[in-house]
Amino acid sequence: MATGNAVNTPSRRLFIDRQRIPTVWLRVLLGVAVLPLIALNLRMLALGAADPSGLLSIGEWLNHSMNLNWVGPADRSVVLYILLLPFAALLIALTRLTLGIRVLGFRAILIAIGFQEIGLLPSLLLILLIATTVVLVRPMMRRSGMPLYARVAVILCIVATTMVLSLLAGSWLNSATLWSMAFFPVVILAMLAESVADTVARENTAMAAWRTATTITLAGVIAGLSQVTVIRELVLACPELLATQTALIVFVSEFLDLRLFESFRPGENKRQDAEAARGHVVLVRNRFGAAPIAQTSSGAPRRYRRAALQPFIDGLRAQGFKVDVVEGDSSLPSKLRNLAGSRSPSSSAPPLVINCAGGMHGAGRLGQVPAICEMLGLPYSGPAPQAPALLDDRSAQLSVLGRAGLSVPKTLSRDEAETLLAREDTRLWVRPRFQGDRSATAVRSQRQLRRALERTEERFGTAMIEAIPRGRGLSAVVLQPQDDARAMVLPLLEKLPSTGRFQQAHGLSAEHGSAIRQQVIACARALGCRDLARIDLICDEQGRITIAQVLAIEPLSKSGPAHRAAALAGLSPADLGEKVLQSVLTRTGTGTDHKYSGPKVSATRNPTQNKRSSSACVTLHSSATA
């Protein structure tokens, strides 16, 4: 069996059997492809015979009963579109698989329909105008956090507006070209414009222009061949040829998957040089993902799916990194393997995985992505697979933190909680024992307690009741907690109850801030957090600190605490990403030539390693006294 790498070598053969389809099925397909050709010959022989008999009678019957020449002129164009669709698909398969020329999917077929509707010149002018407009507008829509459906809806509106303007301009200027632009299929234009803009964002402008040009050229070829009289009459007279074309597509994928010119990628030389200098980053997230075979438990919290990571991705790309975004679902191993195998020849280092995924579902979902990266041997951010097992079990987590000398919430039995709620005005928290990244539910009465326990046990199984002291809720983002020399805590944050947004915490003394930072780093180390983690804590009136929750995998969302704390420390999203990358590279010993080039961070290092820790709160303390 020939491998994919063998195909790309100079010694490749013209035909390569990839053995993806069993021989029996190939023989069946060969029969399916040959039978319509036999029928075509019988049809031709029957036409020339004065008295068809024997096998020629079959041809005579086919000519009279198996044809579509009876379709009227009003419907003939629609029928021809259907009959020529497999022919167009065969041309696209040959272009992409045999020649290896990249196109924008099967949009060439749709564009060919537009060419036939209004002509070549008006179509090209309209495509150029719409694609340019969408390429300019689409980045602003993505930065604003608009979801996919909203972006596509806006693009449809832009297309419709442009076509209406062309209709008005055509009437004002008495131009048939401008007038006809309004009759190009709207959905086809919107799909093409979105594909062009997406290619510009994921690859580069040169590649987007190349793929658009090849798609339009292929659409012109399809439109031109579709107007050839012989082809049109043949498909109407012999509709059984659809089976032959379908079988030919399968044979092309099996024997002619040569991709002769796939290495030609305009604009890729600079990207490969940048990749060799900076590196290849794969960001794993949970946004959509393939559904599990059987849903046995709840999935990850919504914050993993809703995280707006585009500013972080754009920042890394602006710094020269090649960034791919993949879903952390069941297809992740094959995607990572393919990305690792497709890196540029000048880059010897494997891609580095930034884990922003909370896992799909099931027990130990926080460890799913780390386990896959360990299995494939790829460096990755976040905790090792054994740490999420501890982070996932709230009871074990509190036990470890207690042994480390840190203050943690007190756990209560149901009877203790009901007695406490009946005796005094207090607030307790109900949370799942497993899935430690879940938020807790606050309860103030026995009725609320029973309802919260029922809902939690129904969704997550075992529930826990915790008593957390009253006080200020703070969040700390810690970088590189595993490294004594580089561990640092970004400026502390406080969540506003009214809006849910994070702002810088004010009013803490330097000594108090230093104590908080020491406990945050100690907490992260005790639970095996690495590279970047978020610690939520409660600070009461006496200054006592209680660890409320630990999130070892923090989505780098533009509205999240990591982004906010980094901004307060003078770090852009790209700088924060470089800090995380540098932590992984240092820890794993890969890519030692990568150096952090961002600004210095206004945050503390580990006070146990730095005797002058009182100056570590300079950002926080100065703002508190201002």
Mean pLDDT of 134-140: 79
What band does 480 get if pLDDT is binned at 50, 70 and 90? confident
- Of residues 574, 569, 594, the one with CA closest to residue 583: 594
Question: Which amino acid appears at position 432 of this protein?
Answer: P
Instruction: Give the percent of the chain with pLDDT over 90.
Output: 25
Residues 432, 438: Cα–Cα separation, whole Å: 7
What band does 229 get if pLDDT is binned at 50, 70 and 90? very high
- Of residues 424, 423, 415, the one with CA closest to residue 449: 415
Mean pLDDT of 164-191: 84
For residues 449 and 465, the answer to whether their CB atoms sit within 8 Å is: yes
Q: What is the pLDDT of residue 348?
A: 61
Q: pLDDT tens digits for 249-291? A: 999 988 888 888 877 777 655 555 444 446 888 989 887 655 5
pLDDT at 405 exceeding the cut of 90:
yes
Going 361 to 298 to 415 to 427, the CA torsion angle's sign is positive
For residues 392 and 436, the answer to whether their CB atoms sit within 8 Å is: yes
What's the Cα-to-Cα distance from 55 to each of 51, 212, 375, 409, rounded to whole Å?
A: 12, 49, 62, 89
| SS3 state of residue 467 | strand
Least confident residue range of 217-221, 314-318, 347-351: 347-351
Q: pLDDT tens digits for 66-121? A: 889 899 888 888 899 899 999 999 999 999 989 989 888 888 888 888 888 888 88
Residues 273, 539: Cα–Cα separation, whole Å: 49
pLDDT at 467 exceeding the cut of 80:
yes
Q: pLDDT tens digits for 296-338? A: 566 677 677 666 677 778 778 777 788 888 888 888 898 898 8
Q: What is the pLDDT of residue 401?
A: 93
Q: What is the pLDDT of residue 297?
A: 61
What band does 139 get if pLDDT is binned at 50, 70 and 90? confident
pLDDT at 212 exceeding the cut of 70:
yes
- Average pLDDT along the chain: 80
Mean pLDDT of 579-601: 64
What band does 201 get if pLDDT is binned at 50, 70 and 90? low
Name which residue leads in pLDDT, 547 or 436: 547
Name which residue leads in pLDDT, 530 or 607: 530
136: alpha, beta or left? (left if phi > 0; alpha if psi -120 to 50): alpha
Domains of the chain, residue spans: 268-288+302-389, 410-467
Q: What is the pLDDT of residue 187?
A: 78
Least confident residue range of 73-77, 124-128, 537-541, 557-561: 557-561
The DSSP code sequence of 230-255 is HHHHHHHH-TTHHHHHHHHHHHHHHH
Q: pLDDT tens digits for 596-611? A: 344 444 444 443 333 3
Residues 387, 135: Cα–Cα separation, whole Å: 43
Q: What is the pLDDT of residue 306?
A: 61
Torsion angle defined by CA atoms of residues 566, 569, 573 and 575, in that order, rounded to the nearest 10 degrees: -120
Q: Domain 268-288+302-389 falls in which CATH fold?
A: Rossmann fold (3.40.50)
CATH no. for 410-467: 3.30.1490
Mean pLDDT of 499-524: 87
Instruction: Give the percent of the chain with pLDDT over 70.
Output: 83
Tell me the β-bridge partners of 431: 464
